[in-house]
Structure 1
Amino acid sequence: MNDLQTLRAALAPDEPSREVVDRSRHRLQNRIHGGRASRRRTGWLVTGAAIATAAAAAVAIAAMPAAPVDAPPVRTVSGQEILLAAATAAERSPEGSGTYWHVKVDGAAASSGYEYWIKPDGQSWMRGVKTGGKVTPMKKPSAAPFSMAAVDLTLEQLRALPTDPVALKAWIAEALKRSDARTSAGPLTASDREKAAFQALISLVSTLPAKPEVRATAFRMIAGYPGVQNLGTVPGGQGLLLPEGERLVVDPETGRVNGTSVFITLDGAVYKVADPAGARVDAEWTKTLPA
């Protein structure tokens, strides 16, 4: 059984086992007969309808959360299991194709949302508060238009990322060391780079056109961090609380991230959503650019 099948089984409502039903039926029959196997049968003629009613009642009793001995154990799905199931689904998902990589975030920078389109050659368009809600081309194409938390990449570099977790971790760490990104306090510190590396993994599973195998690796690497918590079912999938306080909404059936509390803007800035519910995110290839 793979991660996705395990998760499906854990999230499915539990039915009473055959053993529980039989035990409950036997207990009910004992009550009907006074609880004594040797009691005389005179006056205890039970019709077929009564037997059927008793059987139905036994099933009902078995389904009720009565005595702890009869109740099946409650299966709690961990945040790690959700991420691992999403990794399995992401690995099997199609890559998609199109002219523009389109990212839309609702409930973040403005009520109308924030979105951008990127062509592999570096041309890009944006719509948001700064553009008055209109699709506006960026003045200068970027040589490396895809941002991964302080690291800018071309589409070719993004698609060439390693799928081995150790190699991917090393690649991100080395890229961050060579990055010229700065904070308000100056160059990136070791702590800054550690946070940026984690945000890079979030970007790979949510807003970057990474290969399915790379997205799956990033999901598994996030699952390896301690403190990942399952917040339960929310619109769009399962809510997750991550170690640094970030939140994701993950659909383990499709391997898609449908919500996030942190994302990288078109100009490479890290944007954190104040709303505890995060923001809805959609990222996919498209063949059309809105007028």
Structure 2
Amino acid sequence: MNDLQTLRAALAVEEPHQDVVDRSRHRLQNRIRGGRVSRRRTGRLIAGAGLTVAAAAVAIAVMPAAPVDGPAAVRTISGQEVLLVAATAAERSPEGSGTYWHVKVTVAHGVAASSEYEYWIKPDGQSWMRGAKTGGKVTPLKAHSANPFSLVAVDLTLEQLRTLPTAPDALKAWIAEALERSDARTSAGEFTASDREQAGFQSLISLVSTLPATPEVRATAFRAIAGYPGVENLGTVPGGLGLSLPNGERLVVDPATGRVNRTSVFVTMDGAVAKVADPAGATINAEWTDTLPA
């Protein structure tokens, strides 16, 4: 069985028993990965599979809808299916470790210009940032936060983040309840039910893109996002597969590794939502590190 046949079998249109679906997705990931996981979180050849990350993304984006010896029909894999494959990859990815949680966001402004927003957070609440406001220098923030990691309008400790529910409905319910209890306000003052719903969705995006969630929680967030209607696969783009999400948000996901490489929306250190005008979104790099630049 070749790679395209494996992908088609793993993501069949029929709805088999969930155990069969899970086993198929595991076989798919093993085929893509060649049974091994690269410890580097950036682009590398996937050992043993003979596929680069980009080739794997193409294979998932478009594959035969009919048997190999049948008509040459082509079926585009849905956005939901892309997210479910990414969820399995995220679940199997190494968690990583380090002294600081480091997030770097690069936003393009036209062809030649860009701006960077970068921060480092220690689990005890110490934090540093670098960006336009700091003149490009790494600057420690004066105040330590007891809850240094932010969903939209919900601040968490690392331990709270690591122990979030690992079932999609339970995770969504936890976030919704936390938002209900929060003192968040919009620019208009009132934080409506619609605002909370959007904040809940954006919180899921944060869990798969910029927060140090466990592999299980990240996988759960991917599956929760896949459960929303209107998720569309935009095809192969730099960094993976482009996805159009509800409320106009976009992600670029590498389904072979479960990484989000670009996003049109992210949450800053203080829990504020930043939206990117460029349809391609901002480049995201988030990982644990032991290095704090001078």
Whether these two folds match at TM > 0.5 is yes
**Residue in structure 2 matched with residue 280 of structure 1 by the alignment:** 283
**Residue in structure 2 matched with residue 101 of structure 1 by the alignment:** 101
**Residue in structure 2 matched with residue 236 of structure 1 by the alignment:** 239
Is the CA contact 2:63–2:76 (under 8 Å) kept in the aligned structure 1?
no
**Residue in structure 1 matched with residue 21 of structure 2 by the alignment:** none
Any gaps of 5 or more consecutive residues in structure 2? 1-9, 11-23, 33-55
SS in 1 for 2:234: strand
Q: Deviation of residue 112 (structure 1)?
A: 3.7
Q: Deviation of residue 18 (structure 1)?
A: 7.8
Any gaps of 5 or more consecutive residues in structure 1? 20-69
Pairing 1:1-291 to 2, within 5 Å after superposition: 1=10, 2-3=24-25, 5=28, 10-11=60-61, 19=69, 71-107=71-107, 111-291=114-294
1:204-259 deviations in Å (ceiling 9; x for gaps): 00000001111101001101100101111011100000011000000000000000
Distance in 2 between the 1:165 and 1:18 partners?
35
Is the CA contact 2:60–2:82 (under 8 Å) kept in the aligned structure 1?
no
Distance in 2 between the 1:285 and 1:171 partners?
25
- Change over 3 Å in CA distance of 1:76–1:125 after alignment to 2: same
Is the CA contact 2:61–2:241 (under 8 Å) kept in the aligned structure 1?
no
Q: Deviation of residue 169 (structure 1)?
A: 1.4
Distance in 1 between the 2:162 and 2:169 partners?
17
Q: Match for 1:126: what amino acid?
A: M
Q: Match for 2:101: what amino acid?
A: W
Q: Deviation of residue 10 (structure 1)?
A: 4.6
Distance in 2 between the 1:95 and 1:241 partners?
27
Q: Deviation of residue 160 (structure 1)?
A: 1.0
Is the CA contact 1:112–1:133 (under 8 Å) kept in the aligned structure 2?
no
Q: Deviation of residue 187 (structure 1)?
A: 3.4
Q: Deviation of residue 184 (structure 1)?
A: 1.4
Which of these two proteins has the greater Rg computed from alpha carbons?
1
Q: Match for 1:243: what amino acid?
A: P
Q: Deviation of residue 12 (structure 1)?
A: 7.0
Q: Deviation of residue 166 (structure 1)?
A: 2.0
Distance in 1 between the 2:68 and 2:123 partners?
58
Q: Match for 2:250: what amino acid?
A: R
Distance in 2 between the 1:174 and 1:272 partners?
24
| TM-score normalized by the length of structure 2 | 0.77
Distance in 2 between the 1:76 and 1:148 partners?
33
Distance in 1 between the 2:63 and 2:165 partners?
39
Distance in 2 between the 1:11 and 1:18 partners?
17
- Change over 3 Å in CA distance of 1:18–1:247 after alignment to 2: closer
- Could you list the runs of 4 or more consecutive aligned residues of structure 1 that deviate by over 3 angstroms after TM superposition? 6-14, 16-19
Report how many aligned residue pairs link the two structures: 240
| TM-score normalized by the length of structure 1 | 0.78
SS in 1 for 2:247: coil
Q: Deviation of residue 268 (structure 1)?
A: 1.3
Is the CA contact 1:3–1:81 (under 8 Å) kept in the aligned structure 2?
no
Q: Deviation of residue 11 (structure 1)?
A: 4.6
Q: Larger strand proportion, structure 1 or 2?
A: 2
Is the CA contact 1:259–1:278 (under 8 Å) kept in the aligned structure 2?
yes
SS in 2 for 1:186: coil
Q: Percent identity?
A: 75
